Amino acid sequence: MFLKAGGRGARSAWRQDTAYLPWAGQHWANAWISFQPVPRQNSLEIVRGSYRGIQYDGTTFANPDDPTEPLHGHGVLPRLPDIDAERAIDPDAHDVLSWAIEPGDVLALHPRSLHGGVGVDAGCPDRHTLVLRFFGDDATFRPLPDVNEHFARNGVLFVDEMAKLNPGDPFRSPVFRQLL
């Protein structure tokens, strides 16, 4: 569940969820669902086709002066592009998609897609969204870089189960079947 409220929520940093979660493969989907109408100018933005491109380092979300401050650092993954700064110079620098959303609409995107949520304002003072994540046969475990001592190599969910997986193991493995 995500909440932006009060008409003053800043935009979310551009990111790929796969920089924070130990996932690989093409058979993944995030379902982004809003509980109220959201105009396009306050909606989720996605860089078209970016899920097929580079896996960037994540952002720390901690430095308002640098929205691309690397989470893992040490040059392990390429630094996120500063999409907003590049678009300020050239509005066509990235092929960004966005839609007006009505309650019941579902935006589906691959978690490796570069995406970010635009802030709320007086015209759209609140945005409550639910994100559901789905995976299929091609979903595999990919350990996260272990150079940041403050960030878990295997993510924060199912830590004990993730510790039993090797790179490339399918998420449909017996480790996860016992959770179902």
pLDDT tops 60 at residue 176? no
pTM of the model: 0.87
Residue with tokens 């130990």: 22
pLDDT by residue (tens digit) across 27-42? 999 999 999 999 999 9
Summarised one tens digit per residue, pLDDT across range 32-83 is 999 999 999 999 999 999 999 999 999 988 888 999 999 988 888 999 999 9
Read off the pLDDT of each residue in 161-174 and give the average, rounded to a whole number. Answer: 78
Please enumerate in sequence order all residues whose Cβ is within 8 A of that of 84, keeping only pairs 6 or more positions apart, or say none.
Answer: 11, 14, 67
pLDDT > 90 in the chain, percent: 49
pLDDT score of 173: 56
Instruction: Give the chain's mean pLDDT.
Output: 87
pLDDT at res. 75? 84
d(CA 170, CA 83): 33
- Give the span between the Cα atoms of 21 and 71, in whole angstroms: 12
Q: Pick 54 or 153 by higher pLDDT.
A: 54
Residue 84: φ, ψ to 5°: -65, -45
DSSP code per residue over the chain: -EEE-TT-PPPPPPB-GGGTS-EESS-EEEEEEESS-B-GGGSEEEETTGGGS--PPPB-S--TT-TT-BSS-TTSSPPPP-HHHHHHH-TTSS-EE---B-TT-EEEE-TTS-EEEPPPBTTB--EEEEEEEEE-TT-EE-PPP---TTS-TT-SSSHHHHTT--TT-BTTSHHHHTT-
**Position 144 confidence tier, pLDDT thresholds 50, 70, 90:** confident
131 and 15 Cβ atoms separated by less than 8 Å = no
Quickly state the pLDDT bin for 113 (edges 50, 70, 90). Answer: very high
Q: Are 32 and 107 in contact (CB under 8 A)?
A: yes
Give the pLDDT of residue 57: 94
Ordered structural domains, the chain, with CATH: 1-180 (2.60.120)
- Tell whether the model's pLDDT for residue 179 goes beyond 60: no
